[in-house]
Amino acid sequence: MAKLYFSFAAMNAGKSTLLLQAAYNYRERGMRPLLYTSALYATDGVGLISSRIGISEPAELYRAEDDLYLAIRDHTEAGKVDCVFVDEAQFLTPEQVWQLARVSDRLRIPVMCFGLRTDFRGKLFPGSAELLAIADVLREIRTICECGAKATMVVRQSPDGRVLVEGEQVSIEKSVYVSLCRKHWEEAVGRWPVLGP
């Protein structure tokens, strides 16, 4: 039975590298993977999944209004799809997470999603929350804090290095994020996290 997977981590844990490696393994065995990334990462309308270690691969783009079940079903009409990979899965809408679940349940295609669990404020992304709720398999990809402990949180920094505690949930400038353990995240934000929406 095909499953819906969610591999999550803080920034710079190698999520995209693992995705690209897994897609390569499918191709090496003569199989057809289908890759998606958020339209927030489009360059001139083109999708590209890139890793910090210098590897990249073209990908289909998804937007909040897209029906991923229908899009993937259309791809299967052009030929067998052996696995679907979704990078930046935190930007999926809850509805899209269910659409991907239907891909695994009804089209019997494994779906592997990779993304962040929480934002710089320590809050779940909507797509990540839905994946945590309904994915068949949850995998934590680990990275480390400056202290050597497991990093589970991220802070957003201004260009001058100041830690930001307010602002829009989504900012795709990766260079402004630093992965920290919970203890150092709490110290960096300088206050207890605000509970609630």
Structure-token pair, residue 25: 């393994």
Q: Which is higher by pLDDT, 106 or 189?
A: 106
Amino acid at position 21, single letter: Q
Q: Is residue 153, in this structure, part of any structural domain at all?
A: no
pLDDT class of 179 with cuts at 50, 70, 90: confident
Domains in the chain, number: 1
Q: Is residue 132, in this structure, part of any structural domain at all?
A: yes
Catalytic, out of 57, 60, 77, 88: 88
**145-154 pLDDT, tens digit each:** 889 999 988 8
Distance of alpha carbon 92 from alpha carbon 37, whole angstroms? 10
Q: Which domain covers residue 76, as residue numbers?
A: 4-141
Q: Is residue 194, in this structure, part of any structural domain at all?
A: no
Q: Is residue 119, in this structure, part of any structural domain at all?
A: yes
Output the pLDDT for position 45.
79
Q: Is residue 63, in this structure, part of any structural domain at all?
A: yes
For residue 2, pLDDT beyond 60 = yes
**CB of 9 closer than 8 Å to CB of 59:** no
What's the whole-model pTM score?
Answer: 0.87
Could you tell me which of 141, 135, 82 has the C-alpha nearest to residue 108?
Answer: 82
Q: Is 88 a catalytic residue?
A: yes
pLDDT class of 194 with cuts at 50, 70, 90: low
Q: Is residue 148, in this structure, part of any structural domain at all?
A: no
**CB of 114 closer than 8 Å to CB of 152:** no
Output the pLDDT for position 4.
98
Output the pLDDT for position 128.
97
DSSP three-state, residue 68: helix
Q: Name the H helices within 29-176.
A: 68-78, 94-106, 126-134
Q: Is residue 169, in this structure, part of any structural domain at all?
A: no
By 3-state DSSP, what share of the chain in percent is helix, strand and coil, each rounded to 5? 30, 25, 40
Domain CATH number, residue 66: 3.40.50.300
Structure-token pair, residue 74: 């259309």
**44-54 pLDDT, tens digit each:** 778 888 888 88
Q: Which is higher by pLDDT, 115 or 189?
A: 115
Q: Is residue 68, in this structure, part of any structural domain at all?
A: yes
